[in-house]
Amino acid sequence: MAQWKTRGHLVTEQNNANSQNLDQLSALELVDLFNREDVQTLLAIARARESLAQAIDLVSMALGQGGRLFYVGAGTSGRLGVLDATECPPTFCTPADLVQGIIAGGAAALVRSSEDLEDRAEDGQRAIAHHQITALDVVVGITAGGTTPFVHGALMAAQQRGAKTVFMACVPTEQVDVQTDIDIRLIVGPEILAGSTRLKSGTVTKMALNILSTGVMVKLGKVYGNRMVDVAVTNTKLRDRALRILTDLTPMDRSAADGLLERSGKSVKLSLVTYWTGLEGETAEDLLKQHHGNLREAIMAHQSNSAADGEQAHS
């Protein structure tokens, strides 16, 4: 594994010519400067569109075959990975272990800076062993500057176990060259505050993770149209969202939708299967299972079978 003694050549460490007089700007001038610079995050995502799409396909295939997704990072990058992983269960009703975040320093590093721990590649290797990562899994290494030893140690260990690996960084390949299955480069240029990668680099990383995880869940059938049909109904806000989905997608009023939601074990997806097919309980659940939880495929298959049965009855 390569070791980086100096990092001053990295684009994430360089001075930004547009912010040389940062300490002399008014509050409004500061806001305007940030706004202009943040345009680079959108351009970076556009340039990385193909590698992001490849990552969505790779991860969705792995998860569809029983694998898991792991984000690995340190500092801001690690926190963003943990955040994205943590939001998958309430948004998509995924098992807690399907998408996981690994951060250098563990849970304590989420609220207290532990920057020195990112220099220990062996900790990254141990984290991979601790989570018993296998060839079914995908490990996404996130490091704005591209050089974090903790991340590189984790990626190396994951590759040795046969896992697929993805690298996500904000420096070009000529500055940090890494051998992984998919290489996502999010080039946003030097930060307004030199070296502070929680700024543009952090923003573009959050955008990329949003795209990756949401794209994967769409591919896994966790979405119907643009509706969150696998939402976990665990509080008042999410129950209201579930009822609005049901009343928007069907002619049911809120009272009827609430009753159906309760009969369906608070599952929006199962409620819709029941409403659209007339199937109840285990029969409706079995239909969904046959189509790996994909609501659209399940409904289309039921309609096709019903039409075929109708034709046979009239022949």
CATH of the domain at 296: 1.10.8.1080
Per residue in 72-120, pLDDT tens?
999 999 999 999 999 999 999 999 999 999 999 998 888 887 667 788 8
Whether 118 is a known active-site residue: answer: yes
pLDDT single digits (tens) 211-266? 999 999 999 999 999 999 999 899 999 999 999 999 999 999 999 999 999 999 99
Tell me which long-range contacts 286-293 makes (C-beta under 8 A, separation of at least 24): 291/221, 292/64, 292/220, 292/221, 293/220, 293/221, 293/222, 293/230, 293/269
Answer whether residue 229 is part of any domain.
no
Alpha-carbon span 170 to 80, nearest angstrom = 14
- DSSP result, 125-156: HHHHHHTT--TT-EEEEE-TTS--HHHHHHHH
Tokens 């984290």 locate to 127
Set 37, 118, 191, 285: catalytic member:
118
Q: Do residue 210 and residue 303 come from a single domain?
A: no
Reduced to 3 states (helix: H, G, I; strand: E, B; else coil), residue 166 is strand
Counting the structural domains of the chain, the total is 2
Looking at per-residue pLDDT, the higher value among 151 and 311 belongs to: 151
Domain shared by 179 and 270, yes or no = no
Clarify whether residues 176 and 142 are in a common domain. yes
For the segment 167-171, the average pLDDT, to the nearest whole number, is 98
Active site residue 87: yes
User: Is 131 in the same domain as 95?
Assistant: yes
Domain boundary among the residues 219, 249, 275 is at 219
pLDDT digits over 274-305, tens only? Answer: 999 999 889 999 999 999 899 999 999 999 88
Tell me, yes or no, whether 161 and 252 share the same domain: no
Model pLDDT, residue 7:
66
Residues 214 and 310 in one domain: no
Confidence tier at 9 by pLDDT (50, 70, 90): confident
Q: What is the pLDDT of residues 25-65, one digit of tens each?
A: 999 999 999 999 999 999 999 999 999 999 999 999 999 99
Mean pLDDT for the chain overall: 93
Residue 213 lies in a domain: yes
C-alpha span between 112 and 100 (Å, rounded): 20
Range of the domain at 240: 236-314
Q: How far apart are CA 166 and CA 187, in angstroms?
A: 16
Do 243 and 98 have their domain in common? no
Is 195 part of a structural domain of the chain?
yes
The pLDDT of residue 313 is 56
Distance between CA atoms of residues 277 and 284, nearest Å: 8
Q: Would you say residue 306 has pLDDT above 80?
A: no
Residue 55 domain-assigned (yes or no): yes
Q: Given 87, 191, 262, 282, which residue is catalytic?
A: 87
